[in-house]
Structures are given as C-alpha cells and as structure tokens.
C-alpha cells in the first residue's frame, strides 16, 4: 500500500537524523542508509546492540489492537518519491529513475532468498521486525506519529521477493528465518528491538540466542 502523507504531516512527524546509520551499524552488517527519520520517542539508540540479555522478556501482548492502516506508510520524501521508492533506489544496482520517481531499470538481490530480480513490482519492502510483531511487543500506547516513524524508518526496511515476504508474514525468528544471512538478520532484529524498546517473548528470545551462538565470526 502506498499512503502519501502531506508535507506538513511529514514535517511534524519526521526529522532528519544524521546519526541514524551510525547508530544502527552492526559488526559486519551495515544497515541500509536511505533517507533518515526520527524514531518513535520510546526508542533508545543502541550502537551494535546484539545482546539478547538486554531485552525485556515478556509474553506477547496479543490483546493489543493491530490495524495496518494505523501504521501510515509509505511517506512522501520529495521529488515524486516515497519511502518504498527510496529503498528500491538505495538497495538496487544500476537503478534508473524516470519522471515522478518511476523506476525504469535496475537489479535487486532479495535479502531473504538470494533471488535476483529486475522488475521492482515483484519486490516487497519488508519491515525486519514486522508491524504486527511490533504491535504485540509493547507499542499499545504509541501515538500515530510514533507508528508512522517506525513504519518508515529505513533501518527496518529491506527489499525482498514477494514470495519470501509472504512466507515470513508477521512471524518472529522462533517460527521463521531467511534462507540466507541468518546471522545478519537476527542481529538486525535484536538491534531494532533494542532501539524501540520492544519486548521479546520467551520462545523468540531462545531462538535469537540460539542463532547468535552459532554465528561465531560469521557475520
């Protein structure tokens, strides 16, 4: 879904944060650096945070209401582009853009399954920690502005094949892991949970520890 907010709304919700990329750079796993946004006020930047022990373990808040429309995305970022367009431009190779930010050429390697894609319409932009997962992890009292900032934070976004994104759904690492770069994926997951002070449920915490324990020096 492409939901463009007005210029005034975007200015009120999102501010330029030059330190974002540095804040969320993990050892051997640099997060994408598209346009920067101010995280939800509950966020605590944690550089290189891959320590599961620092996360609060709690049962999922399954009673928290979740409506995807209440997490506005994709925000307009200028020059005819929205957040989705920016992610495709930053994460592709040989990307060419025409009028109104329409991508006319490019090549992308899906982060989850390694598939090479040349048609951007075949790609989904996934939130590493899905919106529904965030809703179950301590965001019950977030404002719409906080939810919008989260939904458009480029550090959470990755271009993947629609098939791999559908397979993942809103599952956490206890129930789904990508076919490739599981260490990098789990590192990013933990960093996002730290950044936004999101909780992890017991099974999720165990799965995260298990993957990280096997990673060793392989990032």
pLDDT tens per residue across span 130-155: 999 999 999 999 999 999 999 999 99
Q: Judge whether residue 122 has pLDDT over 90.
A: yes
String of DSSP letters for 70-117: GS--PPEEETTEEHHHHHHHHHSEEEEE-GGG-EEEEEEE-TTT--EE
Number of other CB atoms surrounding residue 178 within 10 Å: 21
pLDDT confidence tier of residue 216, bands split at 50, 70 and 90? confident
Largest CA distance in the chain: 48
Question: Treating both helix axes as pointing N-terminal to C-terminal, what angle do 182-195 and 202-215 enclose, rounded to 10 degrees?
Answer: 130
Q: Judge whether residue 175 has pLDDT over 50.
A: yes
* pLDDT for residue 71: 97
Please report, for residues 12, 74, 76, 137, the alpha-carbon distance to residue 2 in angstroms, rounded to integers and kept in the order given.
19, 5, 9, 25
The lowest-confidence range among 44-48, 117-121, 159-163 is 44-48
* pLDDT for residue 29: 37
Comparing 15 with 156, the larger pLDDT belongs to: 156
d(CA 5, CA 76): 6
pTM for this prediction: 0.77
Comparing 115 with 24, the larger pLDDT belongs to: 115
User: For the segment 52-96, what is each residue's pLDDT rounded down to a tens digit?
Assistant: 999 999 999 999 889 999 999 999 999 899 999 999 999 999 999
Q: Look at residue 123 and give its three-state secondary structure.
A: strand
* pLDDT for residue 2: 40
- Give the whole-number percent of the chain exceeding pLDDT 90: 72
pLDDT confidence tier of residue 32, bands split at 50, 70 and 90? very low
Which of 44, 50, 43 has its CA nearest to residue 26? 50
pLDDT confidence tier of residue 172, bands split at 50, 70 and 90? very high
Q: What is the mean pLDDT of residues 11-33?
A: 35
Q: Judge whether residue 42 has pLDDT over 60.
A: no
* pLDDT for residue 13: 36
């Amino acid at each position: 879904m492409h939901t463009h907010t007005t210029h005034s709304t975007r200015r009120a919700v999102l501010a330029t944060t030059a330190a974002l990329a540095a804040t969320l750079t993990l050892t051997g796993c640099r997060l994408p650096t598209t346009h920067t946004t101010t995280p939800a006020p509950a966020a605590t930047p944690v550089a290189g945070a891959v320590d599961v022990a620092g996360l609060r373990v709690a049962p999922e808040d399954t009673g928290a209401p979740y409506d995807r429309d209440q997490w506005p995305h994709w925000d307009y970022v200028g020059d005819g582009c929205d957040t989705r367009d920016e992610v495709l431009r930053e994460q592709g190779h040989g990307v060419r853009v025409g009028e109104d930010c329409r991508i006319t050429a490019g090549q992308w390697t899906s982060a989850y399954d390694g598939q090479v894609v040349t048609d951007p319409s075949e790609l989904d932009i996934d939130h590493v920690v899905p919106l529904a997962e965030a809703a179950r992890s301590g965001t019950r009292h977030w404002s719409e502005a906080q939810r919008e900032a989260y939904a458009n934070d480029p550090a959470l976004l990755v271009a993947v094949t629609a098939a791999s994104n559908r397979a993942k759904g809103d599952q956490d690492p206890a129930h789904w892991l990508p076919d490739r770069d599981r260490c990098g994926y789990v590192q990013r997951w933990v960093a996002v949970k730290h950044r936004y002070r999101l909780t992890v449920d017991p099974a999720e915490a165990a799965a995260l520890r298990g993957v990280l324990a096997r990673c060793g020096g392989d990032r």
